[in-house]
Amino acid sequence: MDPFEMQDNSKNSNKPKYSKFTQQELPACKPLLTPAIVISAFLLVGIIFIPVGLASLSASQEIVELIDRYDTTCVPMADKVGYIQDSKTDKSCIRTLTVPKHMKSPIQIYYQIGDFYQNHRRYVKSRSDKQLRYKNAAHFTKDCEPEGYTADGVPIVPCGLIAWSLFNDTYTISVNKKAIGVNKKDIAWQSDKNKKFGSDVYPRNFQNGNLIGGAKLNESIPLSEQEDLIVWMRTAALPTFRKLYGRIETDIMANDQLTVVIQNNYNTYSFGGSKALVLSTTSWIGGKNNFIGVAYLIVGGLCLFLALVFVVLYMFKPRNLGDLSFLSWNRNTLDCPN
């Protein structure tokens, strides 16, 4: 409304309606960074963080983790790449490990790969979620290039670089020379099995080309049951990552001898990557990771230290807040221009 129009109409006042909102007079609290508030804030953070850090650290420390990097020993020194690419040689390799501490079931078996860029743009895009989910969507291979079609032009199911490069090392584990079962059920997310991978979609034309990437799939099992594939297709964000291989559902005692027969098939040699086998127990915090615990302790400690420094500073160099005598920003002398 144009206020000018109403000018003469003096019966209708043009006075703006009063409300706390329009007058910007809403009640407000104005916390200041006073010594009391800041010191107690840092104290509080310190007091909370240190126990949480201790709890996290002890949880992490309780986890028993066994890491065995096998890629260097399970291959002849000369011509690693030629060895791994030769499909005829028997690539089994036996590793013996000693368990340092009692490991409570369930024990997770991971394979850890280093310097493998699952997060590379070329790689991460090369999949077709539609095809994985729906039976009739096999031709949705647009994003899968260069692994979309076979040489004959038939769509590959599952298509794309991710599926094609499926990890294919296998582990057979025995404790004290006695073979134990590795449970490979339910290693993938339930939600993936139910909603992302179709139970009526079967692998077709997979790994049929000249270039074999990784593992082959059993064409009679639907994708939703191909848990190794499902796990693999949850791409990792970091170049070094672990993926669940299976579980051991019995406890392993301390000093037990573990013998692992590894089929060393997967080629990490051409790009200088690493491979390792990891056995780990679990706790509420997840896998073994001291980072959070240590970080909490450091942050908590620093906070307490800062709080202390503030207190000391405040005692030795007290500053009255709002004391006008130290308007230091006003110290510059007044010069005559020029």
Of 183-212, binders to another protein (CB under 8 A) are: 189, 191, 195-196
Does 26 interact with another protein (rule: CB under 8 A)?
Answer: yes
Q: How far is the CB of 251 from another protein (least distance, A)?
A: 21
DSSP letters for 103-115? BPSSEEEEEEEES
Of 35-64, binders to another protein (CB under 8 A) are: 35, 38, 41-42, 45, 49, 52, 56
* Binding string, residues 70-109; x marks residues near another protein by CB under 8 A: --------------------------------------x-
Q: Which of 54, 97, 302, 308 binds another protein (CB under 8 A)?
A: 302
Does 295 interact with another protein (rule: CB under 8 A)?
Answer: yes
Helix 35-62 and helix 290-316, axial crossing angle in degrees, nearest 10 = 160
In this structure, which amino acid lies at residue 119? Answer: N
Pairing between β-strand 92-98 and β-strand 170-175 as defined by DSSP bridges = unpaired
Nearer to another protein, 252 or 303 (CB): 303
Nearer to another protein, 203 or 300 (CB): 300
Nearer to another protein, 129 or 256 (CB): 129
User: In b/e form, how buried is each residue of 143-171, taking b as 16+ CB within 10 angstroms?
Assistant: ebeebbbeeeeebbbbbbbbbbbbbbbbb
Span of 18-26, 71-79, 218-226, 253-261 interacting with another protein by CB under 8 A = 18-26
Q: Which of 87, 96, 220, 330 binds another protein (CB under 8 A)?
A: 330
Does 291 interact with another protein (rule: CB under 8 A)?
Answer: yes
Please give the angle made by the CA atoms of 198, 236 and 249, to the nearest 5 degrees: 70
Nearer to another protein, 124 or 175 (CB): 124
Nearer to another protein, 28 or 78 (CB): 28
Q: CA 245, CA 194: separation in Å to the nearest integer?
A: 20
Q: How many CB atoms lie within 10 A of CB 207?
A: 18
Does 134 interact with another protein (rule: CB under 8 A)?
Answer: no
Does 22 interact with another protein (rule: CB under 8 A)?
Answer: yes
Q: CA 338, CA 331: separation in Å to the nearest integer?
A: 19
Specify whether the backbone of 3 is left (phi greater than 0), alpha (psi in -120 to 50) or beta: alpha
Pairing between β-strand 257-263 and β-strand 170-175 as defined by DSSP bridges = antiparallel
Q: How far is the CB of 225 from another protein (least distance, A)?
A: 18
Phi, psi of 24, deg, nearest 5 = 55, 40
Nearer to another protein, 4 or 177 (CB): 4
Which residues are CB-contacts of 167 (< 8 A; sequence separation ≥ 6)?
Answer: 111, 113, 214, 215, 228, 232, 243, 266
Of 232-271, binders to another protein (CB under 8 A) are: 234-244, 267, 270-271
Phi, psi of 306, deg, nearest 5 = -60, -45
Does 69 interact with another protein (rule: CB under 8 A)?
Answer: no
Quote the tokens at residue 282: 């679990």
Size of the site for another protein (CB under 8 A): 103
Residue 43 is inside which H or E element, if any? helix 35-62
Span of 5-13, 89-97, 180-188, 257-265 interacting with another protein by CB under 8 A = 5-13
Of 113-132, binders to another protein (CB under 8 A) are: 116-124, 129
